[in-house]
């Protein structure tokens, strides 16, 4: 593909309007029921990963294949974005032979630079700022367990990180109510909080930021957490363990929530840190539904981008 046509990228949850998110979730639901379109037939999708992955790599590979396309995985040591050659040269080269680039990297600016130079759709498979594909799967999971998203109450306990940012934007766009409990210094960045609040003013969605996990969990339909130390932050482990003490999600915290509360985690988890040992086996846990929904949500996204 050489022509500089207008292409849709998916770098942030805010790249999709509320109506487009609903469209992607409809397509994801149809895919989950077994409907298969051939929207990627004859197309090549390169998966460029600069960080490890189980769920994202596996589910993008399967989704591309199931939609009739050809996935090509490039491991961290192969491409070395911006180190072996300039990011924009990689983007321009890939655009000549592939139809889609799925990129997992560290700095969000790098994926923006890649998308700027690419003439094919670029999908953010996780950056330090956002994890929008995870958020699509989270919304699909909430929709399936709650019967919809509008009005749902979600408590997110812990780090106001990339997962929290995309979740906040996604829930705001779909009319959900999110309360984030974080220790001082680890709140959702102001940029995302402001964006989520602004989007929510049009949809009825709300975002609240609190300090105490119990305040967030009370009455919640879903309690969600993520690791305290994300990939690339390993040098901060000791300081983070101290900062997040008291922010563990465990059965007593879930007991404070609504009667039918469900527990969510994007995985992988660090049991003994952000969750108590064995929490994945608690009857309230839906983490494997959530992980499976990565496949369906991404298939819905790719179908949307290529239909
Ligand atoms: N949740 C998630 O993105 O998992 P992976 O890092 O295994 O892809």
Which atom of ligand 1 has the smallest separation from the CA of 133?
3
* Protein residue with its CA nearest to atom 3 in ligand 1: 56
Q: 2 pLDDT exceeds 60?
A: no
* 68's tokens: 């009739």
Nearest to 188 by CA among 211, 162, 212: 162
Q: Is the pTM of this model over 0.85?
A: yes
Q: Residue with the nearest Cα to atom 6 of ligand 1?
A: 53
∠ Cα 132 23 44 (to 5°): 65
Count of domains observed in the chain: 2
Q: Is 31:304 a contact under the CB 8 Å cutoff?
A: no
CATH code of residue 175: 3.40.50.1370
Q: Specify whether 165 is located in the same domain as 225.
A: yes
- Please tell me the distance from the alpha carbon of residue 145 to that of residue 130, in angstroms, as a whole number: 24
Q: pLDDT by residue (tens digit) across 205-216?
A: 999 999 999 999
Q: Are residues 126 and 246 in the same domain?
A: no
Q: Residue 85 falls within a domain, yes or no?
A: yes
121 and 140 part of one domain: no
Same domain, 62 and 167: no
Could you tell me if 157 and 224 lie in one domain?
Answer: yes
Residues 234, 300 within the same domain: no
Are 157 and 107 in a shared domain?
no
Q: Which tens digit of pLDDT belongs to each residue from 119-130?
A: 999 999 999 999
Domain-embedded: residue 241 = yes
- Structural domain containing residue 168: 134-291
Match 């590979």 to its residue by tokens.
Answer: 61
CA distance 227 to 230: 6
> Do 72 and 142 lie in a common domain?
no
174 lines ligand 1 (CB under 6 A): no
């Amino acid at each position: 593909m050489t022509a500089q046509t207008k292409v849709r990228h998916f770098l942030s949850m805010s790249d999709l309007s509320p109506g487009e998110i609903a469209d992607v979730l409809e397509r994801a639901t149809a895919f989950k029921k077994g409907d298969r379109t051939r929207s990627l037939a004859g197309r090549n999708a390169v998966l460029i990963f600069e960080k490890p992955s189980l769920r994202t790599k596996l589910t993008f590979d399967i989704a591309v294949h199931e939609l009739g396309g050809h996935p090509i995985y490039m491991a961290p040591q192969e491409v070395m974005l911006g180190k072996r050659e300039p990011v924009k040269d990689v983007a321009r080269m890939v655009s000549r032979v592939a139809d889609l680039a799925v990129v997992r990297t560290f700095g969000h600016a790098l994926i923006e630079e890649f998308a700027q130079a690419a003439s094919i759709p670029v999908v953010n498979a996780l950056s330090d700022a956002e994890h929008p594909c995870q958020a699509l799967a989270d919304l699909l999971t909430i929709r399936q367990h709650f019967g919809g998203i509008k009005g749902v109450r979600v408590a997110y306990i812990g780090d106001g990180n990339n997962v929290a940012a995309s979740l906040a934007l996604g829930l705001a766009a779909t009319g959900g109510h999110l309360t984030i409990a974080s220790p001082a210094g680890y709140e959702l960045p102001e940029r995302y909080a402001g964006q989520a609040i602004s989007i929510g003013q049009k949809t009825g969605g709300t975002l609240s930021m609190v300090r105490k996990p119990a305040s967030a969990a009370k009455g919640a339909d879903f309690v969600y957490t993520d690791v305290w130390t994300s990939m690339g932050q390993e040098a901060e482990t000791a300081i983070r363990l101290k900062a997040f003490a008291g922010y563990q999600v465990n059965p007593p915290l879930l007991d404070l929530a609504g009667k039918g509360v469900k527990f969510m985690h994007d995985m992988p988890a660090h049991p003994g840190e952000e969750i108590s040992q064995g929490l994945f086996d608690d009857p309230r846990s839906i983490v494997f539904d959530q992980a499976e929904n990565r496949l369906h949500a991404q298939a819905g996204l790719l179908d949307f981008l290529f239909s």
